[in-house]
Amino acid sequence: MTIRLFSGLRLIFVIGGLLLSSSAWAERVVTDQIGRKVHIPDHVSRVVILQHQTLNITIQLDAMDKVVGVLEEWKKQLGANYVRLAPLLPTLATPGGLTKANIEELLKLDPDVVFVTNYAPADMVKQIEDAGLPVVAISLLDVPPEEAVKLNPTVKDEPAAIDAGFATGVRLIADILDRKEQGEAMIAVTQKYRKLVADRLGDIPEDKRVPVYMANPNLETYGHGKYTGLMMDRAGAHNVAHEIAGYKQVSMEDVLKWNPAVIFVQERYPSVVDEIKSTASWQTIDAVKNSQVYLMPQYAKAWGYPEPEAMSIGELWMAQKLYPDRFKDIDMQKEAETYYKEFFRADYAGE
């Protein structure tokens, strides 16, 4: 009788321990943006982010307290001035980048989830998963899985794919980081500004749009299938490089043939503005002759992937530059200050 009682108590103890262990390691399943089912802990407190778009969104969701590692190219991708919005960035470990990962360094950080870009190599993703770490891929684009893994995917309905993919991606990141309310606020503000711009530019015919070129280092630019092209379209521009797919290098002959009336340069590449203004081959282009070469503000992120500040105040800034008479009542400094205080919890330091 005593032995049976002891055995019964031990069985209860073992079962109870297993139940407690199961609770401590509770899991849930999420679907990432390349269509993979990923098992993640029910409560995520430590993440590594190997994609700058996800890192930017995480900072705006006020979830940096969960970030223990970031991509090694963060300064190049976010721009040198970005660190003021996230002063802890230089102190964080960098266990990999967009297309590679150091498994030993990742394991030292003990993350609950590793965020990667949609085009991260399959062997990189497998290597991380084989080490026992959940991997969530973010694309911010709604396309079939076979296209979602590509750097330059084929997109049938560009506006719909980007709008839906952005909302899905923000909600996925916010859900994992326990910031659902902030995620919904972010989506709502982009919709508000989108409507403002669309209402004021809706009557401009295609043949009256301003021809615009997006200048990057080494004559690389954005065509169709990337958010940057849609950003220009929604701001009332005609992207002179629309016929190319994705993000590619063009020739000086192409730019001369296109002869854009306005040239935009991303804030992270200020040297490109100096190059355009000082190099002889650019001087016959209308945008250069008429001093219509603009370094974009920090919030107008023409990254090829949609970012919340670009989809809201970034598109508004661009539209105002192209059609000042239609937006003369808009104080961009005030709009930027409002956005930065709400999402970056900081003052906007630009002009």
Domain ranges of the chain: 24-178, 203-344
pTM over 0.85: yes
pLDDT in tens, 175-185: 999 999 999 99
CA distance 237 to 226: 15
Domain made up of 24-178: CATH architecture? 3-Layer(aba) Sandwich (3.40)
Residue 56, CA distances (Å) to 49, 61, 62 in order: 10, 9, 10
For residue 226, how many other CB atoms are within 10 A of its CB?
28
Range list of β-strands (E), 108-228: 113-117, 135-138, 210-215, 220-222
Task: Give per-residue pLDDT as tens, 212-228.
Answer: 999 999 999 999 988 99
Residues 89-123 pLDDT 10s = 999 999 999 999 999 999 999 999 999 999 999 99
Residue type, 340: Y
Instruction: Give whole-number Cα distances, 177 to 55, 115, 189, 233, in Å.
Output: 12, 11, 20, 32
Spatial neighbors of 184 by CB under 8 A, at least 6 apart, are 171, 174
Is residue 319 within 8 Å of 236, Cβ to Cβ?
Answer: yes
CA within 13 Å, CB half, 71: 22
Q: Is the pLDDT of residue 187 over 80?
A: yes
Residue positions counted in the chain: 351
Domain 203-344 in the same topology as domain 24-178: yes
pLDDT band at 26 (very low <50, low <70, confident <90, very high): confident
pLDDT in tens, 124-143: 999 999 999 999 999 999 99
CA pair distance 101, 95, nearest whole angstrom: 6
3-state secondary structure of 303: coil
**Residue written as tokens 């964080």?**
92
pLDDT of residue 1: 44
Closest by Cα among 264, 259, 238, 237 to 319 = 237
Q: What DSSP element (H or E) covers 234?
A: helix 227-234
How does pLDDT run across 34-57, given as a tens digit for each residue?
A: 999 999 999 999 999 999 999 999
Residue 17 pLDDT more than 70?
no
Q: Which CATH superfamily is domain 203-344 in?
A: Nitrogenase molybdenum iron protein domain (3.40.50.1980)
Structure tokens at 168: 């899905």
Confidence category of residue 336, pLDDT binned at 50, 70, 90 = very high
- How far is residue 227's CA from residue 247's CA, in Å, rounded to a whole number? 10
CB of 212 within 8 A of CB of 262?
Answer: yes
Output the pLDDT for position 351: 61
